[in-house]
Homo-oligomer: A and B are copies of this chain.
Amino acid sequence: MNNSRLEAFSDGVIAIIITIMVLELKVPHGETLDALVPLIPVLLSYVLSFTYVGIYWNNHHHMLHACEQVTGPILWANLHLLFWLSLFPFTTAWVGENHRAAAPAALYGVVLLMAAIAYWLLQNRIIASQGADSLLKKAVGRDWKGRLSPLLYVVGIIAAFRSPESAQAVYLLVALLWFIPDRRIEGVLVHK
């Protein structure tokens, strides 16, 4: 079994996740520009989550590219990742509507953390299936971003209960860290 249908299915799910998040931008009742003001935090949380989903799509794309053989455990590790990504619209909407509250900011971080763990599990499954000469293992290298991000999410979750804004700043920082696509994998693939 090759990776193309897994890619296609993941693409479909991610495309829907990224698009239904916008449904939370409810049409305002008023017809003036003022009516848009309460939507600003909703829009900002949408932008952040859109960026995160974009980063996941991007890196997921590179990772599957380095995976020649799809096994059962890889399939389920991938569905597990999609499960956590599918909760992004929920946490995004909750943060958007309560942007100064602790619990939504913390939960947003918990789902980010779980998605990061799910991504790491999927990566490990692929590396394990490739054996000692794993192409992906070489590509990922020391994986400092993958190690640092969960720690920062935990910092954000704890910070949320003191200051939701600082938690959001941490999540934004992690997004910026990942913004650049994973050139390590690209690099190894080119020299393949």
Copy total for this chain: 4
CB-contacts of A1-36 with B (<8 A): 1, 5, 7-9, 11-20, 22-25, 27-28, 31-33, 35-36
Chain B contacts for A82, CB-based, 8 A? 18
Q: A75 an interface residue at 8 Å Cβ cutoff?
A: yes
Q: Do residues A28 and B76 form an inter-chain contact, with CB atoms below 8 A?
A: no
Q: Do residues B65 and A22 form an inter-chain contact, with CB atoms below 8 A?
A: no
Chain B contacts for A36, CB-based, 8 A? 103, 107
28 contacts between A and B (CB under 8 A): A1-B61, A1-B189, A5-B11, A5-B61, A8-B11, A9-B11, A9-B57, A12-B12, A12-B15, A13-B18, A18-B86, A22-B86, A22-B87, A22-B90, A23-B89, A27-B93, A27-B97, A31-B94, A31-B103, A32-B102, A32-B103, A33-B103, A35-B103, A36-B103, A50-B79, A58-B76, A58-B79, A76-B179
Chain B contacts for A28, CB-based, 8 A? 94
Q: Do residues B20 and A19 form an inter-chain contact, with CB atoms below 8 A?
A: yes
Q: Which of A17, A89, A104, A180 has the most CB of B within 10 A?
A: A104
Binding site for B on A (CB under 8 A): 1, 5, 7-9, 11-20, 22-25, 27-28, 31-33, 35-36, 47, 50, 54, 57-58, 61-62, 65, 72, 75-76, 79, 82-83, 86-87, 89-90, 93-94, 97-98, 101-104, 106-107, 179-181, 183, 186, 189
